[in-house]
């Protein structure tokens, strides 16, 4: 399910190169959703959700699921499950004060370091997080914060989320995402 009514060709909105890098697709990993559901997770927040495919997959699995994204051009079929927020303008006003599982794929590298606190506040609402990052030198659309694994481990620790090496290894080994983002650069954190 795409969840989008107005699929367009345009890559990024004019004047906002940090938005729209989703190319009208979502990198889905149903293994993550199923695994964390078995672990007892019931709520889900996708930070930088793009078109929202993981949100719709989470809803299909009976998660109380929401996504945050700044691409104002998207006309969503279920707008109540999405929060429109450009993280260069400030933090998101989330509908809940906590979530069991946070997810973010191909997002953190697209936001300049000076705006980190805006999206890290959303991650801090989550009890567990699965995310990807782009390493130093990784080319891509508006890659402005490519960094090391250690950088992200330290950053998440500053917000009360601690690296889970065993879970990271397990999720990387079992990811069913078509792309290698999670297998190569996925990290797992817990409070």
CATH number at residue 43: 3.40.50.150
- Would you state the pLDDT for residue 1? 44
From CA 147, how far away is CA 27, in angstroms rounded? Answer: 21
In a domain, 21, yes or no: no
In a domain, 120, yes or no: yes
In a domain, 58, yes or no: yes
Domain span at 101: 30-190
| pLDDT tens-digit map of 60-114 | 999 999 999 987 777 788 889 999 998 989 999 998 999 999 999 999 998 899 9
- Would you state the pLDDT for residue 74? 78
Angle made by CA atoms 113, 51, 106, in degrees to the nearest 5: 35
| pLDDT tens-digit map of 3-60 | 545 455 455 555 555 666 556 678 899 999 999 999 999 999 999 998 899 999 999 9
In a domain, 23, yes or no: no
Burial 138-150 (b: 16+ CB within 10 A, else e): eeeebeebbbeee
Please tell me the total count of domains within the chain: 1
In a domain, 17, yes or no: no
In a domain, 3, yes or no: no
In a domain, 8, yes or no: no
Residues 6+ apart with CB under 8 A from 169: none
Please give the model's pTM, rounded to 2 decimal places. Answer: 0.90
């Amino acid at each position: 399910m795409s969840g989008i009514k107005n699929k367009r060709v345009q890559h990024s909105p004019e004047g906002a190169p940090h938005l729209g890098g989703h190319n009208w697709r979502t990198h889905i990993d149903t293994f993550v959703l199923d695994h964390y559901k078995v672990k007892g997770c019931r709520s889900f927040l996708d930070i930088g959700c793009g078109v929202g495919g993981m949100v719709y997959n989470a809803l299909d699995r009976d998660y109380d699921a929401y996504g945050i994204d700044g691409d104002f051009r998207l006309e969503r079929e279920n707008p109540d499950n999405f929060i429109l927020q450009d993280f260069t303008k400030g933090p998101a006003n989330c509908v809940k004060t906590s979530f069991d599982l946070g997810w973010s794929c191909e997002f953190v590298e697209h936001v300049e370091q000076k705006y980190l606190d805006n999206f890290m506040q959303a991650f801090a609402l989550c009890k567990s997080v699965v995310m990807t990052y782009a390493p130093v030198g990784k080319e891509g659309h508006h890659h402005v914060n490519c960094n090391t694994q250690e950088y992200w481990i330290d950053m998440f620790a500053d917000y009360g989320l601690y690296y889970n090496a065993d879970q990271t290894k397990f999720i990387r080994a079992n990811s069913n995402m078509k792309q290698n983002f999670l297998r190569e650069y996925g990290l797992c954190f817990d409070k």
